[in-house]
Amino acid sequence: MVESSSPKLAHQILDCIGLYCPMPVLKTREKMDEIAIGEILEVLADDPAAEPDLKAWAKRTGQKVLKIDKTSEGLRILIEKIQ
């Protein structure tokens, strides 16, 4: 579920601009393994498949998508590590 709450500050930023499927998901998984439970990862991506792929990955792995912003450069996705 995507919540439209107020923006939260990310603890880490992952730049996936220029990377295409499956790299944004693979890089996100690697970075999420490095951060602590409760921390937020900001993923920047311009792959059109990144939004549905990362939503599905978060749901499957029990993480929480906090916010998705569409910018002129692509997507800004905030994901909280839940487990």
Contact criterion met (CB below 8 Å) for 52 and 45: no
Q: pTM for this one?
A: 0.87
Q: Which CATH architecture has domain 12-80?
A: 2-Layer Sandwich (3.30)
Give yes or no for residue 50 having a pLDDT over 70: yes
Pick the range with the lowest mean pLDDT from 7-11, 59-63, 76-80. Answer: 7-11
Segments making up each domain of the chain, as ranges: 12-80
Q: Looking at residue 1, what is its pLDDT?
A: 38
Q: Looking at residue 9, what is its pLDDT?
A: 85
**Catalytic (active-site) positions:** 21
Burial of 30-54, coded b for 16+ CB within 10 Å and e otherwise, reads ebbeebeeeebbbbbbebeebbebb
Contact criterion met (CB below 8 Å) for 20 and 27: no
pLDDT band at 6 (very low <50, low <70, confident <90, very high): very low
